[in-house]
Structure 1
Amino acid sequence: MIKRSFYYLWGSQTISNIADIIYILSITVLVFNSSNSLMQTTLIPLFRLSAQVVSGLVAPIILSRFRLTRILLFSQLGQFVIFTLLLLYLWTVPGQSSFLFIFVLVFGMSFLDGWTNPARNALVPRLASGEGLMRANGLMAVSDQVVRCAGWALSGIIVAWLGTLSTLVIASCCYLVAATVTSVIRDPLEHQKSGSETPTSAASPAAAEPKGGYWKELGEGWQIIWHNRRIRSLMIVDSIDTIGGTSWLGVFILAYVTQVLHKDASWWGFMNASFFSGMILGGVLVVGLVKRLQKNGYLYMLGALFVYVLITVVFAVNTIPAAALVLFAVSGLPVQMAGIIRRTLLQTSAPAAQLPKVMAGIDVLTNLTFGLSLLFLGWYADRFGMVQVYLLAAAMTTIAVLIGWFYRREFQDSEQADYPTVTDERVSS
């Protein structure tokens, strides 16, 4: 069952993602053309990543004190305000822009955006239940990949056609539209709290607010991740898989194309497009097969990861460009399926009141694992070559599958978190 508010959330997040891609590309082009310095341009992703890490660390406090819908609305309205200031500044001092001021505004927008992902992932289970939850996650994943696949190409065309400032205006309008759509989302859990004398969060000690100050509150999500066997097992599998999965990052694919396939950089674009196509297909399949996947989701997740291992091994030893293109596209399918199922299992492994803090902790852990894996694989690729990198990726995912199989008994029961529903909101299945 999927509530009507989910579609508002889906639409607002899609529009917001479009705005993110447009503004990132526009700012990158603006800074590079104005400075003609690659080093200054690379400060943009650096400021974004730093802001998101800081935002993720303080997210548990924000998520525990404010409604998820208000956090999303505040984030989007805040980004709209900051973006409007950036536009006014660029129009006021054209050609004399201070890059430091631009970077500070980018940091502010990314800081606000850091709360969006855990809030969104915690809100989805409140707006969808049963088979609808996995279908909702599949729809979110498909839209995310479509925006990523088409967004960069279309944004480049728009920037070349309209210019940087006009493109930034489009991004600003997208943020405002996204905030408007977010304002009509209704959170069923908050609706129940407001409609009863005793808040839902006070129904059990596990859902109660921590009484140990900010530090204890910051660590509560981590404690839940560690003590909840289902969540802990999923995060162990995900972290080990991420070590090898980082090898599908663009820079490694570029090295594979030039060193193994002996092709120019144009093939890099073909490979990325094929992978995104496979990811989109994987999301569509999850939506279409949700009834089958819902019953034994955990085993299907392990099966998808095992299929990914086989594809990765063949991809590593292959030297035929056309075959590599096909393999890269096919690999996106099990990766997306495993990712959607894993997210659904995480969302159904903790009570609704605890889920925002859990998701915030998971985001920090995922980003930390990704960053360390990126550094390690960069060193490993320079020392042993790209063929060994992908063989290592297959080995790491194999270990993740074996560990996941060891924990399979934790997922044999069908017990899920008791997410609230409301009866006065029309739903669609």
Structure 2
Amino acid sequence: TVYRKKTVLLLTMMDMSEGLANAVWTSAVLLAFTKEVLNKGEAWWGFINAGYFLGAILGGILAVLFSNQLKQRLGLMIVLGSVSMGITTLLFAYSSNPLLSVTLCIMMGPLYQVRDVSQTVILQDTLTDEERAPVTAAKNTVLAAWSILTIAIMGALADLIGVRSVFIAAAVLYAGTAVAIFFVRDLRTYSQSARQQTKGEIEG
């Protein structure tokens, strides 16, 4: 239906926007930030990377523990997660304290995990059983190709405008995703219970 097509298109565009933002967390850009902004070496670069992965693990645990509450507010969780990612990324960009930078990375993990899980659930709910496998495969293929370009884009921008500026740009992209979702009422207010109640209407 038109509803499903619009939802898949919007979620894919969101993934592409945040995929560009996520490129700042690649090793090369983070290493440049650690050296140029924090004035630290490879050890702190490792701590920052470890902090993000620790946060991601914590986020996965939280998503499991609070899955019942999460599925009632999936759309809202995407908005809040993207806003929070934008704020923490902006704080990271202006941080000159390595310990604060590690702490912010730990905080980002749960925020992004909850946002990502919510978006994945909405996509799976929106598609029919027949559509789920091919659409997901096509979407992942597009995003995989896009990820190669995003790394090149953010790497080039880091050289042109400075590594701190690309983190600021990433924060704007995260916030932009939140704004886009906020103004799409069907996604902002999305919940699994509401989806089940109106399933027949949506799929018709």
Q: TM-score, normalised by structure 1?
A: 0.43
Classify the secondary structure of the residue corresponding to 1:353: helix
Question: What is the Cα deviation at residue 369 of structure 1?
Answer: 2.1
> How well do the aligned residues superpose, as a CA RMSD in angstroms?
1.9
Deviations 1:334-353 (A, max 9, x none): 01111111111111110011
- Is there any run of 5+ residues in structure 1 with no aligned partner, and where? 1-205, 207-223, 419-429
1:286-307 deviation per Cα after TM superposition (whole angstroms, max 9, x unaligned): 1111111111111111101111
Asked if the contact 1:233/1:407 (under 8 Å) is kept, the reply is no
Residues 148-173 of structure 1: CA deviation (Å, up to 9, x unaligned)? xxxxxxxxxxxxxxxxxxxxxxxxxx
Residue 28 of structure 2: aligned partner: 251
Corresponding residue number in structure 2 for 1:415: 195
1:119-198 correspondence runs (5 A): none
2:62 to 285, 289, 297: 285
- What residue in structure 2 maps to residue 147 of structure 1? none
Contact conserved, 2:75 with 2:187, CA < 8 A, in 1? no
2:137 counterpart residue number: 360
CA distance in 2, matches of 1:411, 1:315: 27
Displacement after TM superposition at 1:227 (Å): 6.0
- Are the counterparts in 2 of residues 234 and 404 from structure 1 also a CA contact under 8 Å? no
The answer to whether the 8 Å contact 1:275/1:329 transfers is yes
**Over 3 Å off, 4+ runs:** 410-413
Aligned to 1:234: 11
The SS at the match of 2:130 is coil
Aligned 1:27-426 pairs, distance under 5 A: 228-410=5-187, 412=189, 414-415=194-195
The structure carrying a bigger helix percent of its residues is 2
CA distance in 2, matches of 1:227, 1:296: 19
Q: What is the identity, as a one-letter code, of the residue corresponding to 2:109?
A: G
Q: Can you give the 5+ residue segments of structure 2 that lack an aligned partner in the other structure?
A: none
Count of aligned pairs: 195
Partners of 1:356 and 1:389 in 2: CA distance? 35
d(CA) in 2 for partners of 1:275 and 1:352? 34
For residue 389 of structure 1, what is the amino acid of its counterpart? V
1:245 aligned counterpart, secondary structure: helix
Shift of 1:408: 2.8
Say which one has the larger Rg: 1
Deviation at 1:229, TM superposition (A): 1.7
Query: Hey, what's the Cα distance between the residues in 1 that align with 2:22 and 2:184?
Result: 21
**Distance of 2:134 and 2:181 partners within structure 1:** 24
Q: Which of structures 1 and 2 has the larger relative contact order (alpha carbons within 8 angstroms, sep 6+)?
A: 2
Distance of aligned partners of 1:301 and 1:227 in 2 relative to their CA distance in 1, 3 Å threshold: closer
Question: 1:415: Cα distance to partner?
Answer: 2.4
Shift, 1:281, TM fit: 0.6
What is the TM-score when the length of structure 2 is the normalising length? 0.89
Q: What fraction of aligned residue pairs are identical, expressed as a percent?
A: 24
Could you tell me how far 1:375 is from its partner in structure 2? 1.1
How far 1:378 sits from its partner (Å)?
0.8
Would you say the 8 A contact 1:279–1:332 is kept in 2?
Answer: yes
The structural deviation recorded for 1:367 is 1.1
Give the distance between the partners of 2:121 and 2:187, measured in 1 at CA: 15
C-alpha contact (below 8 Å) 2:78/2:178 kept by paired residues? no
Q: Which whole-Å deviations, capped at 9, do the CAs of 1:222-261 have from their partners, x for residues lacking one?
A: xx9x961222221122211111111111111111111111
